Amino acid sequence: MSAEPHPAEQGPCVVELKEAGPEAAELLSILHHAAFEGREPWDAAAFGQILGMPGVVVWLACVSQSEEAVPVGFIVSRHVVDEGEILSVGVHPQWQRRGIARVLLAHLVGRASQIGETLFLEVRFSNRAASSLYEQTGFWQVAVRPRYYEDGEDARLLKWSPR
């Protein structure tokens, strides 16, 4: 009898995106903690505050398991006039490397393109996988934020523009 393969070993999956609101704060906290392996996790209270801010939009990436849509990833962004900032994007480790973050990012970039919005985000210098994904999506580095993270690591400030 063989064990069920790890989801990441099963290749690409079908992803359904669902917009979420403040009711998803606890779920987002759990996903964030898992995705970032406990490094600077946002708790439910922090998500509650963020989700209550004007212009904040959250999309959950859900996959079908046993006829149920299970949230496995998220993207949180804030939009003001013609600019947006990606505050966080993450995928549960069991579902990483299956194109889920790419789907979330493509969705947000597609919406920004439709309305002529410029997007920004920060990413750790050490997070090469995320940096590569962002660059493949059309983001480029515009600045460095020294000692941006609690542990002192610098952040790359990236920009995407429809122009």
Catalytic residues: 122, 134
CA distance 127 to 37: 13
What is d(CA 102, CA 111) in angstroms, rounded to the nearest whole number? Answer: 14
Residues 6 or more apart in contact with residue 84 via CB below 8 angstroms: 77, 78, 108, 112, 117, 118, 119, 120
- d(C-alpha 19, C-alpha 38), whole Å: 24
CA distance 141 to 22: 31
